[in-house]
Amino acid sequence: MELLAAPEVAALVGDRVFPVHLPVEPVLPAVAYQVIDEKRQQNARRPSGRVRSLVQLSIVAPDYDAAYAVAWVIRRRLERWRGRAGGVLVYDTLEESSQDVGDGAPHMVAMTWRIHWKEQ
């Protein structure tokens, strides 16, 4: 995810952003991302090119404080972000939910983001 390569995010997780799953023994903190739902809009009888995706970010860190530090930086970076990323035009990003997953170490925060974008 190109947006997670922003300097403020990279300062905490480096390049440890992975599709779907983290490696077996990851260096932490790290982030896994996956699309959990995607809907394409239509105008009359044809696709409009507009898409609404729900993307889950799983932030894994050695402890609660480190996981929430990464979540906070990601939240500040992505909330209401608009622009071009990954070859698409992003109209809006909005955090749908955030929750703690598990109660041990390492700690995970699962964030779900609604992203509105247009296919090029």
CB 94, CB 111: distance < 8 Å: no
pTM of the model: 0.88
At 19, the pLDDT band (50, 70, 90 cuts) reads: very high
pLDDT at 102 over 90: no
Distance separating alpha carbons of residues 41 and 52, to the nearest angstrom:
8
Higher pLDDT, 8 or 6: 8
For residue 14, the model assigns a pLDDT of 93
pLDDT at 2 over 70: no
**pLDDT tens-digit map of 20-53:** 999 999 999 999 999 999 998 877 677 678 999 9
Q: Which long-range contacts (CB under 8 A, 24 or more apart) does 67-70 make?
A: 67/29, 67/106, 67/107, 67/108, 67/109, 68/109, 69/12, 70/9, 70/12, 70/13, 70/29, 70/31, 70/109
For residue 43, the model assigns a pLDDT of 75
Mean pLDDT for the chain overall: 90
